[in-house]
Structure 1
Amino acid sequence: MTMTTGLTGLILIVDDTPTNLDVISEALSNAGYKVAIATSGERALQQVERRPPDLILLDVMMPGIDGFETCQRLKANSKTCDIPVMFMTALADVDNKVKGLNLGAVDYVTKPFQEQEVLARVKTHLQLRLLTQNLEQQVAQKTAELQAAHIQVIQREKLSALGNLVAGVAHEINNPVGFLYGNIQPALDYIKDLFGLLDLVQQESANFSVAIQEQIEAIDLDYIREDLPKLVASMQEGVNRIKDISISLRTFSRADSDRPVGCNIHDGMDSTIMILKHRLKANDTRPEILVIKEYGDLPEVECYAGQINQVFINLLANAIDALEEANAGRSYAEIKINHNQIIIKTELSADRQKAIISIKDNGIGMSETVRQKVFDHLFTTKGVGKGTGLGLAIARQIVVEKHGGTIEVNSVVGEGTEFTISLPTNG
């Protein structure tokens, strides 16, 4: 008599007795299962490595390594530890059953076999195996979805906080800069008028008093005439510079709309470099970090500009960190010879459908192991308190999932790292 199970699966039968193998394999085959056979524990272990079954029926009393030892080895191997094992034995005493279950077996069937019982137990454990696998897949899927949602929340919070901060700073700069910018030219006009009045006074007065003459010499009036306009002009240049910074801040922090809009990638990159200018300047331990821009002829790219700028600032900040790490233990002169530099290159793809942006540093580089994990959620090589492991994961999500682009990294330890981004030009 046979039982139709409705389940299919590969079952490995391990028994050194041909009669037992014939009986149980025939019953399982008739029930619709795929069957594999091994006549010893050693062969069973070899077969399982090559082709993992869905269930193992394992005889206890066998020459060589017995069923208990075989089960113990299966459970000790990470590749086979999840395969359910059912013991088959004529040893029906409680001690042997407990021993088998303690080793990780899921069930026990006794000889001589009762076909209906064996098939029912096999069906039950295959169903449990299938349900367990489905549950594991669902848990993995939900975990991935939660991680993605977490990254999105962190991304929005970081982008919002950074954008608000930068926009606020730009706004605060705007008012005093506007005041200075609007008043410098009138100040120059007033100075010109005062100097004209002084000239007129000198022409009309043939002789100044001794006190006035001494004061003219004390303040070096001729030098003031020459230098004051230059001084105000330099102030004008400084105000223009602050105005450019303010514009860069507003460009960087521009609010994203609910859809991609045409943006100038180079403007976004320049504003990001401006934000990080303080980290690029020379200090007591190293010369200035050179930023070499090799901009190609790019059209406007349809994107969420604020998010793309966040990617740029993350990659550039990481490049600066890598250079700082590479500088550790090197002298100022040695660093000056080798040059700390970041090369930013942009170009249009051969089919003119993608904007390619690369950011390359000659810093410390990264190992292949690190390179493969660098975009993983929560992975970081930085010390406690210095890295969250979210920056590059967020960058990847923005580029790949939000914009349908790609982001890749190539690196050589001791030579540097290059990140390459491709963005569809039409959003």
Structure 2
Amino acid sequence: MLDPLPRPNPAALVLVVDDEVKNIQVVGSLLLRHGHEVIAAGSGREALAKLESVHPDLILLDVMMPGMTGFEFCLKLRENPELRDVPVIFLSAAADKNFVVDALEAGAVDYVTKPFHGPELISRVELHASRRKTHNQLSKVIREKNRLLEVVAHDLKNPLSGIQFAATMLAENPALPEDARSQLVSSIGESALRAFEIVSGLLETKSIEEAKSAVIRKPLSLEAHAERAIANFEQHCRRKNIRIDVLRSGDDLSVFGDSRLLMCCIENLLSNAIKFSPSGSTVTIHLQRNGEGGIFRIEDEGPGILEEEVPLLFGKFTRLSARPTNGEASTGLGLHIVHELVTAMEGRVSYQPRDGKGSVFRIALPLVGESA
């Protein structure tokens, strides 16, 4: 028995539909030998039933079958919005040119006659399966770009309106008292800062994959990174009258991670805690160790997360019902970034409700000396 060939990239899940068992065996063994996965169906109706639970990358379809012809099956497939883009290759002994035309009009992407040449069939299968995977990837990118435009348009509207209003007031009222002018100038500065935070957050997501692929894990001081992040938010805390308490386990926790990514994660969690905390409240940071490793735990006294929204927390562009307490920018990207980067450092990020009111987020990273 010949050894299977190396698994192709990308491997395809192929549905083979034919009323002749021998034909399915021949085609199926060929596909399996070339590293693809195979689902078999002996009729159009059986194939439609299987498609209710499985979505293949490609369908190899016979033309003349009892009960439902390949053309009829193909037309029914196109009526299903979830399946209409699955490429169909007709594989038939019928070599009549009219059959080929009918197949293409029914929605097929290709037509191969029996007896077929194995390498040619495999080449066509991999070509159309690869095109579909590329199409799906591009569709996903387009959806994300459209969502990105929605976020930009929505989130930049308020700070830009604030800048426009304040600038108009200054231009139309040159004799404004000094304190009124100072308030308008301050408003422009605050609005510009919010717009900058929105743009920075969106640009940050573009570099996630690049950052994940260039992770350099080495021993890091969890406490030193926490202190640096806190210092970066000192002015923001002062403006909102928010206090930050840091509770340490006693010794400096040395964890494995990437310094740049760890700072990004801690700053995102700290920024969220400050954004959603009311004036005069306290944000508490715990630095400790347990069975999971070195722990950065941050608690706030904000509104917390609704139970039904918890599963959505780390998704991209997730917008929850809780809103920042002082009009700060919130793109719905921060927690997604934290999740992706912590995972890239072989760590774990989690959420739990805080006793009473508020949120608790935890980052767990492998401890130096205890990491495999």
Q: Could you state the TM-score of these two structures normalised by the residue count of structure 2?
A: 0.54
**Residues 119, 426 of structure 1: alpha-carbon distance in 2 compared, 3 angstrom cutoff:** closer
Give the corresponding residue for 1:421.
363
Aligned partners of 2:90 and 2:111 also within 8 Å:
yes
Aligned partners of 1:298 and 1:355 also within 8 Å:
no
Q: CA deviation at 1:321?
A: 2.5
Q: Is 1:73 the equivalent of 2:61?
A: no
What is the distance in 2 between the residues matched to 1:121 and 1:153? 37
What is the distance in 1 between the residues matched to 2:24 and 2:367? 62
Q: CA deviation at 1:420?
A: 0.2
Q: Percent identity?
A: 21
Aligned partners of 1:290 and 1:342 also within 8 Å:
yes
Q: Is 1:276 the equivalent of 2:236?
A: yes
Q: Given residue 351 of structure 2, which amino acid in structure 1 is its aligned partner?
A: V
Q: CA deviation at 1:71?
A: 1.3
**Residues 25, 388 of structure 1: alpha-carbon distance in 2 compared, 3 angstrom cutoff:** closer
Q: CA deviation at 1:298?
A: 3.2
SS in 1 for 2:298: strand
What is the distance in 2 between the residues matched to 1:137 and 1:274? 45
Q: Is 1:410 the equivalent of 2:352?
A: yes
Q: CA deviation at 1:105?
A: 0.9
Give the corresponding residue for 1:241.
none
Give the corresponding residue for 2:252.
299
Give the corresponding residue for 2:268.
314
Give the corresponding residue for 1:126.
125
Aligned partners of 2:288 and 2:294 also within 8 Å:
yes
How does 1:18-417 map onto structure 2 within 5 Å?
21=20, 24-25=23-24, 28=27, 36-39=40-43, 41-49=44-52, 55-59=59-63, 62-63=66-67, 66-75=69-78, 76=80, 78=82, 81-86=85-90, 88=92, 92=96, 94=98, 97-108=100-111, 115-117=114-116, 122-129=121-128, 131-132=130-131, 150-151=207-208, 262=221, 264-265=223-224, 267-268=227-228, 271=231, 274-281=234-241, 289=242, 291=244, 293-301=246-254, 308=262, 310-324=264-278, 340-350=281-291, 354-366=293-305, 371-372=310-311, 374-376=313-315, 386-396=329-339, 399-401=342-344, 404-411=346-353, 415-417=357-359
Q: CA deviation at 1:148?
A: 7.5
Q: Given residue 16 of structure 2, which amino acid in structure 1 is its aligned partner?
A: L
What is the distance in 1 between the residues matched to 2:268 and 2:307? 21
What is the distance in 1 between the residues matched to 2:298 and 2:359? 8
Give the corresponding residue for 1:177.
none
Aligned partners of 2:222 and 2:254 also within 8 Å:
yes
Q: Given residue 231 of structure 2, which amino acid in structure 1 is its aligned partner?
A: S
**Residues 45, 147 of structure 1: alpha-carbon distance in 2 compared, 3 angstrom cutoff:** farther
Q: CA deviation at 1:320?
A: 2.9
**Residues 295, 377 of structure 1: alpha-carbon distance in 2 compared, 3 angstrom cutoff:** same
Aligned partners of 2:205 and 2:333 also within 8 Å:
no
**Residues 59, 121 of structure 1: alpha-carbon distance in 2 compared, 3 angstrom cutoff:** farther
What is the distance in 2 between the residues matched to 1:290 and 1:121? 69
Q: CA deviation at 1:315?
A: 1.7
Aligned partners of 2:87 and 2:132 also within 8 Å:
no
SS in 1 for 2:62: strand
Q: Could you state the TM-score of these two structures normalised by the residue count of structure 1?
A: 0.48
Aligned partners of 1:297 and 1:348 also within 8 Å:
no
* Deviation sequence 1:400-422 (CA, Å, 0-9, x none): 54x5543222359x953221012
**Residues 68, 367 of structure 1: alpha-carbon distance in 2 compared, 3 angstrom cutoff:** farther
SS in 2 for 1:59: coil
**Residues 358, 120 of structure 1: alpha-carbon distance in 2 compared, 3 angstrom cutoff:** closer
RMSD of aligned C-alpha atoms?
A: 5.3
**Residues 420, 67 of structure 1: alpha-carbon distance in 2 compared, 3 angstrom cutoff:** same
* Deviation sequence 1:255-290 (CA, Å, 0-9, x none): xxx975656446446635644332442xxxxxxx56
Q: Given residue 329 of structure 2, which amino acid in structure 1 is its aligned partner?
A: K
**Residues 70, 280 of structure 1: alpha-carbon distance in 2 compared, 3 angstrom cutoff:** same
What is the distance in 2 between the residues matched to 1:106 and 1:30? 23
User: Larger helix proportion, structure 1 or 2?
Assistant: 1
Give the corresponding residue for 1:253.
none
Give the corresponding residue for 1:330.
none
Give the corresponding residue for 2:150.
none
Q: Given residue 127 of structure 2, which amino acid in structure 1 is its aligned partner?
A: L
Q: CA deviation at 1:358?
A: 1.1
Q: Given residue 251 of structure 2, which amino acid in structure 1 is its aligned partner?
A: L
Q: CA deviation at 1:107?
A: 3.0
What is the distance in 1 between the residues matched to 2:290 and 2:105? 62
